[in-house]
Protein backbone atom coordinates (compact mmCIF):
# COMPACT_ATOMS: atom_id res chain seq x y z
CA UNK A 1 0.00 0.00 0.00
CA UNK A 2 1.31 3.41 -0.92
CA UNK A 3 0.25 6.99 -0.47
CA UNK A 4 1.45 9.65 -2.87
CA UNK A 5 3.25 12.73 -1.63
CA UNK A 6 3.68 15.71 -3.93
CA UNK A 7 6.98 17.52 -3.58
CA UNK A 8 7.51 20.41 -5.99
CA UNK A 9 8.30 18.84 -9.36
CA UNK A 10 8.34 15.19 -8.35
CA UNK A 11 6.03 12.61 -6.88
CA UNK A 12 7.22 9.81 -4.65
CA UNK A 13 5.49 6.94 -2.92
CA UNK A 14 5.36 6.54 0.83
CA UNK A 15 4.60 3.20 2.44
CA UNK A 16 1.19 3.63 4.06
CA UNK A 17 -0.68 1.70 6.70
CA UNK A 18 -4.44 1.44 6.08
CA UNK A 19 -6.50 1.21 9.27
CA UNK A 20 -10.00 1.75 10.59
CA UNK A 21 -10.52 3.16 14.07
CA UNK A 22 -12.99 1.20 16.19
CA UNK A 23 -14.31 2.60 19.46
CA UNK A 24 -15.91 0.24 21.98
CA UNK A 25 -17.30 0.90 25.46
CA UNK A 26 -16.56 4.57 24.90
CA UNK A 27 -17.84 7.00 27.57
CA UNK A 28 -19.40 9.53 25.19
CA UNK A 29 -22.89 10.57 24.20
CA UNK A 30 -24.32 9.21 20.96
CA UNK A 31 -23.47 11.48 18.05
CA UNK A 32 -20.95 12.50 15.43
CA UNK A 33 -17.28 12.78 16.35
CA UNK A 34 -13.96 13.17 14.54
CA UNK A 35 -10.49 11.70 14.91
CA UNK A 36 -7.98 14.50 14.25
CA UNK A 37 -4.29 13.82 14.68
CA UNK A 38 -0.81 14.43 13.40
CA UNK A 39 -1.30 11.61 10.88
CA UNK A 40 -3.85 13.80 9.00
CA UNK A 41 -2.88 17.38 9.81
CA UNK A 42 -5.26 17.72 12.76
CA UNK A 43 -8.26 17.94 10.45
CA UNK A 44 -11.31 17.95 12.74
CA UNK A 45 -13.63 16.09 10.38
CA UNK A 46 -15.40 19.05 8.85
CA UNK A 47 -13.35 19.14 5.66
CA UNK A 48 -11.35 16.97 3.26
CA UNK A 49 -9.09 14.51 5.01
CA UNK A 50 -11.03 14.36 8.26
CA UNK A 51 -11.89 11.06 9.92
CA UNK A 52 -15.53 11.19 11.04
CA UNK A 53 -16.99 8.51 13.31
CA UNK A 54 -20.54 8.12 14.63
CA UNK A 55 -20.99 6.69 18.12
CA UNK A 56 -24.05 4.75 19.18
CA UNK A 57 -24.16 3.18 22.64
CA UNK A 58 -20.41 3.82 23.04
CA UNK A 59 -19.38 2.12 19.79
CA UNK A 60 -18.46 3.18 16.28
CA UNK A 61 -16.12 2.41 13.38
CA UNK A 62 -14.46 4.91 11.04
CA UNK A 63 -13.81 4.55 7.34
CA UNK A 64 -10.35 3.31 6.28
CA UNK A 65 -7.58 5.83 6.84
CA UNK A 66 -4.15 6.06 5.18
CA UNK A 67 -1.49 6.60 7.82
CA UNK A 68 2.05 7.40 6.69
CA UNK A 69 3.78 7.78 10.08
CA UNK A 70 4.58 5.00 12.54
CA UNK A 71 4.18 7.04 15.74
CA UNK A 72 1.43 9.62 16.11
CA UNK A 73 -0.94 11.34 18.51
CA UNK A 74 -4.64 11.80 17.89
CA UNK A 75 -7.80 12.90 19.66
CA UNK A 76 -11.48 12.12 19.63
CA UNK A 77 -13.55 15.31 19.50
CA UNK A 78 -17.03 16.46 18.62
CA UNK A 79 -17.29 16.67 14.83
CA UNK A 80 -16.21 20.06 13.49
CA UNK A 81 -14.73 21.34 16.75
CA UNK A 82 -11.29 21.59 18.23
CA UNK A 83 -12.71 21.00 21.67
CA UNK A 84 -9.84 18.94 23.05
CA UNK A 85 -7.10 19.08 25.66
CA UNK A 86 -4.20 21.06 24.20
CA UNK A 87 -1.44 18.76 25.34
CA UNK A 88 -0.29 15.59 23.64
CA UNK A 89 -0.76 12.04 24.81
CA UNK A 90 2.32 10.60 26.49
CA UNK A 91 3.49 7.19 27.57
CA UNK A 92 2.21 5.55 24.37
CA UNK A 93 -1.13 3.85 23.89
CA UNK A 94 -2.96 5.51 26.75
CA UNK A 95 -5.44 8.26 27.47
CA UNK A 96 -3.65 11.41 28.59
CA UNK A 97 -6.55 13.35 29.96
CA UNK A 98 -10.19 14.03 29.48
CA UNK A 99 -11.74 17.44 28.89
CA UNK A 100 -15.50 17.51 28.53
CA UNK A 101 -15.99 15.21 25.58
CA UNK A 102 -12.55 14.86 24.00
CA UNK A 103 -9.66 12.51 24.58
CA UNK A 104 -5.98 12.30 23.55
CA UNK A 105 -4.14 9.13 22.54
CA UNK A 106 -0.80 8.01 21.17
CA UNK A 107 0.15 5.09 18.90
CA UNK A 108 3.77 4.01 18.72
CA UNK A 109 5.56 1.76 16.25
CA UNK A 110 2.68 1.19 13.81
CA UNK A 111 4.06 -0.97 11.01
CA UNK A 112 3.70 0.84 7.68
CA UNK A 113 2.52 -1.18 4.70
CA UNK A 114 -0.04 -3.06 6.82
CA UNK A 115 -3.84 -3.06 7.00
CA UNK A 116 -5.97 -3.54 10.09
CA UNK A 117 -7.95 -2.01 12.96
CA UNK A 118 -7.02 0.29 15.81
CA UNK A 119 -9.45 -0.52 18.64
CA UNK A 120 -9.87 1.85 21.57
CA UNK A 121 -11.69 0.27 24.50
CA UNK A 122 -12.96 3.00 26.81
CA UNK A 123 -14.01 0.61 29.59
CA UNK A 124 -10.57 0.89 31.22
CA UNK A 125 -8.69 3.91 32.58
CA UNK A 126 -6.50 4.56 30.76
CA UNK A 127 -8.27 3.24 27.68
CA UNK A 128 -6.90 0.04 26.16
CA UNK A 129 -5.63 0.46 22.60
CA UNK A 130 -5.16 -2.63 20.44
CA UNK A 131 -3.64 -2.58 16.96
CA UNK A 132 -4.54 -5.68 14.95
CA UNK A 133 -3.60 -6.66 11.40
- pLDDT tens digits for range 102-121: 678 888 899 999 999 999 99
CATH number of this structure's domain 17-132: 2.60.40
- pLDDT tens digits for range 65-110: 999 999 888 888 888 776 655 555 554 444 444 445 567 888 889 9
Regarding pTM above 0.85, the answer is no
> Three-class SS string for the chain?
CEEEEEECCEEEEEECEEEEEEEECCCCCCEEEECCECCCCCCCCCCCCCCEEEEECCEEECCCEEECCCCEEEEEEECCCCCCCCCCCCCCCCCCCECCCCEEEEECCCCCCCEEEEEEECCCCCCEEEEEC
Domain positions in the chain are 17-132
Amino acid sequence: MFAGCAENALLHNIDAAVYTFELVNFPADDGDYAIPGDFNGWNNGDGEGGVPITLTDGAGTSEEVNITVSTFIFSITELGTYNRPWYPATEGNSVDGFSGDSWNFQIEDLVLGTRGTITIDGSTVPATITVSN
